[in-house]
Amino acid sequence: MTLAEMQFQVPDLRLASAEIFMLLMACLILVGDLLVKDEKRTLTFVATQLTLIGAAVITFASSSGETAYTFSNMYVGDLMADLLKLLLYLTVIVILFYSRGYILERPQMARGEYYSLALFATLGMMVMISASHLVTVYIGLELLSLSLYAMVAMNRDSVPATEAAMKYFVLGALASGLLLYGMSMIYGATGTLEIPAIAERLYMGQFDKGILVFGLVFLVSGLAFKLGVVPFHMWIPDVYHGAPTAVTLFIATAPKLAAFAMVMRLLVNGLIVVSQDWQAMLIILSVLSMAIGNIAAIAQTNLKRMLAYSAISHMGFMLLGIVTGVVGGDARFALNAYSSAMFYVITYVLTSAGTFGMILLLARGGLESDELDDFKGLNRRSPWFAAVMMMMMFSMAGIPFFVGFFAKFSVLQAVVAAGHLWLAIVAVAFSLIGCFYYLRVVKIMYFDPPTNTSPIEAPLDMKILMSANGLAVALLGIFPQVLMSLCAFSLLRSL
Amino acid sequence: MSGTPLLSLAIWVPILAGLVVLATGSDRNAPLARALSLIGAVAGLLVTIPLYTGFDLHTPAMQFVELKPWIPRFNVNYHLGVDGISMLFVILNSFITVTVILAGWQVIDSKVAQYNAGFLIMSGLLNGIFSALDGVLFYVFFEASLIPLYLIIGIWGGPNRVYAAFKFFLFTLFGSLLFLIALLYLFISSGGSFSILDWHRMPIGITAQTWLFLAFLVAFAVKVPMWPVHTWLPDAHVEAPTGGSIVLAAIALKLGAYGFLRFSLPIAPDASHELAGLVIALSLIAIIYIGFVALVQEDMKKLVAYSSIAHMGFVTLGFFIFSPLGVEGALVQMISHGFVSGAMFFSIGVMYDRAHSRLIADYGGVVNTMPKFAAFFMLFAMANAGLPATSGFVGEFMVILAAVEHNFWVAFAAASTMIVGAAYTLWMYKRVVFGSVANHHVAELSDINGREFLVFVLFAIGALGMGLYPQPFTEVMHSSVDELLRHVALSKIQ
């Protein structure tokens, strides 16, 4: 297809039908919510959930398994995008169930807007996942980020939340600037913004190496900001800590899927030819993240803050899968490495949702329970939910039979296959350090006497979902094959 | 016997029983939880009996093999099987679980269901370690078994339990993470196989062998534990409840030693020969130095913990002499130590339940108030000291005999344990049991009840039976040990 033909074509809307549906529904819900009184806010909740389910049906039905482009090559539909989007809907559905009680108990929060902002953020992530053009990546990212800034600030009377939102906004804007600057340099070096075309020109050698590497540094910095890896991690602890827990839950889960997609689209799909350059940068970021994340987490007394540092270390670990795809110009291990990283991200999101969900489960009556001490003696109060939380912690620590072990296992396997034995040793050394603070949570729940003996009250739907989340962590740990091969298969068809 | 998946039953019957026990919930249902646990533990033991009766003595090959794909993406298989080396440990472990459930019967009165479930689940996981023939399966069981023991020490342990639980978990994890990298390296260099048996046959260069051997050594030395990475064990033992100490001493320590036989020797035979001197030296240090450390302990549990380290020194010594007598002696020593140390910790537990002290100085003249107990304690103390006709003697004697053939001075040093071991055990026994009644706590002691008597009898059958007639234990080992040594004698360097 030549360029001239394409300009007169009506874009193939079917490929992007899920995004279009999501946009329409988000606008409808935003307007519709204005007409709903507080008592009937459940309507907004139901409509939001139905929208997500509808989007899932559309994505599933329109998935052909083939890679196809539309909107003048700005948008790509492939199996990786379909899989990530389906997981994204699922994650957001679960998040909304978890947050519902929390939102209801806080009249000062803009309740209806939480749902429409969540939908817009989801739309932004969908666009990021399906972006095959630098501008599309940027638009998706900004839609996500702006929704998140607003969500963090939604608790208007809270000083920490406002501060967190401000920090998030300023640093996020800076990161967007870095990313945009890097993109413009890459455009300067290659003369195109389309990701497949960039890859092609790099492959043909039609680029200015100096400018490209200059742009790459900015691009990687911008990505690192969004992923939250050291040294671009400063916003993570403050935002996780300051934001209302329901919003922290959102930030800590779904965007990780989109960030993974963004890394794949930009670095792997677009810039694989210069993988040597960005892999070297990412190795440093990864090791630093594992080091700082795991060590700083030890010193935290607030669970949200501890999990923020843990998130930094997990993103660092995930990057290990990204940096081992190409070894000395040989891309034999690429599928193995990238699918390991994908598996890692998915399991991290699953576990992280359960962990923050547990904080929400305990936070009742308008009070937060995000201090480590709030979990004291949880085993006496509710043996089952203590067990669920324990499974989450052991999964994050990478202890079998929980899914986190196989996530670490598959990434380490890719690292060893790539011949980076020393990197694997560094990774396990920091995992050992990380294990300490996860064990401490278990210790607090099981070995310490409770300070608060009230039984746990939570809506039935949340209890069921929370239990399912825990069982998923355990069952995927015993039968990881299905999800692993799903990741590998979707990448095989997409790369 | 081909139809029944015996090893799967040995693993999953206790685990499922544990989950059922957990479901009984709060302490209101404690009697039900106890009864169900005992049924589960006995059922777990019964399913392992056919492993012995159906065992083919004449083949070194793996028996009762089960092979199903587990994670085809990484060629990981659910591959189980036992040979003469591992089979006895599956039975021993299932046996110990029964005694542990009985040992905690009246003593544990808070969170009974969780306590018993922890031991049942751990029993299944430990059986999994001994029967796994796939590297990942082994590793998964190996690490997962840390969780129940961590919780058991942390929840039902003594005053310093949190420290002990963390130290136990992090020490062992430290060792096993390097082990994981070694497994991944073997996976990559074997061209994508996690089968331990494939790794046994795979040629490996000496440099890689050395690194693999060292990675295995760290993992297993922590678990055995060998000097100088033994410091977690006394802490864990002192803080753990009686049941935890029994399982820790009787089974968990054997995992490290078993790892040497399953991984270090057959996968890196050249490096094993090369570095045998190192392991022998560490073993002798454990035997002699730790023996003297045991001598000065004031806490009975600590004393037995140090004596365990010394006894395990014998095991690693026996392995690295590379003679059939040495390896079989070490295996006998491992099983014997399972009975004897389990019984020693149970004896201390019996006294602790009554007087709430483990300090030797708080006792004296126990024989006056607890004669039946004193008799059993005597038997196990003698076995711990290696008295002939008890199981403790057989293994040590075989290892020393093998050591004489290897090097007289090694044997000489090892044999000194006969004196030191007798000294610390009997001196403790004398101070605790003999003499006049030391204080009113001792005066108020009541002798053992029927349940405790039953547990003692179970342990005594093991310790005495094995000491008087070791043949049934050693005959199953012969073919496997011979085959192992034949394999280790061949170089893998190409």
Complete DSSP assignment for A421-470: HHHHHHHHHHHHHHHHHHHHHHHHHHTSPPS--PPP---HHHHHHHHHHH
List C-alpha distances in Å: B166 to A433, B170, B175, B233: 12, 6, 14, 12
Query: Contact B33/B455 with Cβ under 8 angstroms?
Result: no
Mean pLDDT to the nearest integer, B298-322: 88
Shortest Cα–Cα distance, A144 to chain B (Å): 34
Average pLDDT value for residue range A262-281:
88
Sign (positive or negative) of CA dihedral A264, A269, A272, A274: negative
Q: Give tens-digit pLDDT for B54-102.
A: 888 888 888 888 888 888 888 888 999 888 888 889 999 999 999 988 8
% of chain B exceeding 90 in pLDDT: 10
Site from B136, B177, B207, B214 to mutate, A interface, most A CB atoms within 10 angstroms: B177
Q: At what angle are helices A79-104 and A245-252 packed, to 10 degrees?
A: 170
| Residue B114 reports pLDDT greater than 90 | no
A263 compared with A156, residue with greater pLDDT: A263
Instruction: Write the CB contacts of B10 (distance below 8 Å, at least 6 apart in sequence).
Output: B44, B47, B48, B51, B90, B94, B124, B127, B131
Chain B: give the shortest CA distance to residue A447, in Å: 5
**B6/B4 Cα distance (integer angstroms):** 5
Closest Cβ opposite residue A431 in set B141, B150, B177: B177
Task: Name the residue facing A400 among B25, B143, B166 (closest C-beta).
Answer: B143
Whole-angstrom distance, CA of residue B476 vs CA of residue A321: 46
Closest CB to A412 among B162, B170, B180 = B180
pLDDT at A1 over 80: no
The span from the CA of A14 to the CA of A22, in Å, is: 13
pLDDT over threshold 50, residue B280: yes
Q: Which of B74, B136, B147 shows the shortest C-beta gap to A399?
A: B147
Q: Is A75 helix (H, G, I), strand (E, B) or coil?
A: strand
Instruction: Identify the residue among B70, B71, B138, B178 best suited for mutation to test binding to A, counting A beta carbons within 10 A and taking the highest.
Output: B71
Residues of B in contact with A386 (CB under 8 A): none
Is A372 in contact with A441 (CB distance < 8 Å)? yes
Dihedral-angle region of residue A67 (phi above 0 means left; psi in -120 to 50 means alpha; beta otherwise): beta
Do you find a cis peptide bond into A231, omega within 30 degrees of 0?
A: yes
Q: Angle between the A195-204 and A159-190 helix axes, to the nearest 10 degrees?
A: 40
User: Measured between CB atoms, which of A416, A431, A439 is closest to B185?
Assistant: A416
Rounded to a whole number of angstroms, the distance from the CA of A403 to the nearest CA of chain B is: 11
Sign of CA dihedral A489, A491, A492, A494: positive
Mean pLDDT on A271-291? 90
Share of chain A above pLDDT 90, in %: 45
If you search the block for the tokens 């949880």, which residue do you land on? A378
Is B150 close to A439, i.e. CB distance below 8 A?
yes
Q: Which residues of B touch A488 (CB under 8 A)?
A: 73
Token representation of residue A276: 């040597």
Residues of A in contact with B187 (CB under 8 A): 413, 416
Q: What are phi and psi of B241, to 5 degrees?
A: -65, 165
The more confident residue out of A155 and A125 is A125
**Using the beta-carbon criterion (under 8 Å), do A425 and B181 form an inter-chain contact?**
yes
Minimal Cβ distance to B188: which of A417, A432, A484: A417
pLDDT score of A438: 92
Quick one: closest CA in B to A408, which residue?
B180
Res. B229 pLDDT band, cuts 50 70 90: confident
Q: What is the mean pLDDT of residues A311-316?
A: 93
The pLDDT assigned to A252 comes to 92
Amino acid A8: pLDDT: 59
- Smallest CA–CA separation between A425 and chain B, in Å? 7
Rounded distance, CA B141 to CA B80, Å? 12
**A435 contacts in B (CB within 8 Å)?**
169-170, 173
B141, B142, B173, B222: best to mutate for the A interface, most A CBs within 10 A: B173
A447/B161 CB distance under 8 A: yes
Within 10 angstroms of residue A214's Cβ, the number of other Cβ atoms is: 17
**Distance, CA of B235 to CA of B230 (rounded, Å):** 10
What pLDDT, on a 0 to 100 scale, did the predictor assign at position B29?
Answer: 79
Q: What pLDDT, on the 0 to 100 scale, is given for residue A382? A: 84
3-state secondary structure of B231: coil
Closest-CA distance of chain A to residue B155, Å: 5
**Residue range A446-460: average pLDDT?**
81
A258 pLDDT band (50/70/90 cuts)? very high
Residue A223 burial by Cβ neighbours in a 10 Å radius (0-12, 13-18, 19+): buried
Averaged pLDDT of chain B:
87
Q: What is the per-residue pLDDT across A391-437, written as a single tens digit (0 to 9) for each?
A: 999 999 988 889 999 999 999 999 988 888 899 999 999 999 989 99
Query: Would you place residue A308 in the very low, low, confident or very high pLDDT band (cuts 50, 70, 90)?
Result: very high
Report pLDDT for A5.
Answer: 54
Which is nearest to B112 in space by CA: B34, B226, B215? B34
| pLDDT of the residue at B160 | 85
Which tens digit of pLDDT belongs to each residue from A92-139?
999 999 988 888 887 777 677 888 899 999 999 999 999 999 999 999
- Across B110-134, average pLDDT: 90
Asked whether residue A388 carries a pLDDT value surpassing 80, the answer given is yes
How many CB atoms sit inside 10 A of residue B203's CB? 9
When CB atoms are compared, the residue of A413, A439, A446 closest to B184 is A413
Q: Are A65 and A132 spatial neighbours (Cβ–Cβ below 8 Å)?
A: no
Q: Which residues of chain B does A482 touch, with a Cβ-Cβ cutoff of 8 Å? A: none
Distance from the Cα of A426 to chain B's closest Cα (Å) equals 10
- Identify the three-state secondary structure at position A327: strand
Read off the amino acid at residue A83.
L
Q: Which residues does residue A222 pair with via DSSP β-bridges, in sequence order?
A: none
What is the tens place of the pLDDT at every residue in B148-165? 989 988 888 878 888 888
* pLDDT tens figures, A324-377: 888 877 778 888 889 999 999 999 999 999 999 988 888 876 677 788 888 888
Rounded distance, CA A381 to CA A299, Å? 26
The C-alpha of B76 sits at a distance from chain A's nearest C-alpha, in angstroms, of 10
Average pLDDT over residues A42-52: 89
- Check residue B1 and give its pLDDT: 44
Residue B106 has pLDDT above 60, yes or no: yes
CA distance B143 to chain A (A): 6
Q: Which one of A379, A421, A428 has the shortest CB-CB distance to B180? A: A428
DSSP string, A127-161: HHHTB-BHHHHHHHHHHHHHHHHHHHTTBTT-HHH
Q: Which residues of B touch A401 (CB under 8 A)?
A: 140, 144
**Would you state the pLDDT for residue A370?**
80
Can you give B306-354 as a three-state secondary structure string? HHHHHHHHHHHHHHCCCCHHHHHHHHHHHHHHHHHHHHHHHHHHHHHHH
Separation in Å, CA B94 to CA A490, B116, B199? 44, 14, 29
Report the residue from A401, A412, A416 with minimal CB separation from B144.
Answer: A401
Range name among A204-218, B18-32, B185-199 with the lowest pLDDT average: B18-32
ipTM of the prediction: 0.88
What average pLDDT does the segment B251-272 reach?
A: 89
Size of the A and B interface in Cβ pairs below 8 Å? 89
Instruction: State the pLDDT confidence band at B228, using cuts at 50, 70 and 90.
Output: confident
- Ranked by mean pLDDT, the top range of A55-69, A109-123, A174-188 is A174-188
Which residues from B are below 8 Å from A410, CB to CB?
74
d(CA A268, CA A198): 11
In terms of CA atoms, which chain A residue is nearest residue B125?
A401
Confidence of residue A2 (pLDDT cuts 50, 70, 90): low
- Nearest chain B residue to A390, by CA: B147
Residue B21 distance to chain A (closest CA, Å)? 13
Distance separating alpha carbons of residues A431 and B470, to the nearest angstrom? 45
What percent of chain B is predicted at pLDDT more than 70?
99
Closest among B445, B441, B449, B460 to B375, alpha carbons compared: B460
**At CA B168, angle to CA B167 and CA B171, rounded to 5?**
75
pLDDT in tens, B161-214: 888 888 888 888 888 888 999 999 999 888 888 888 888 888 888 888 899 999
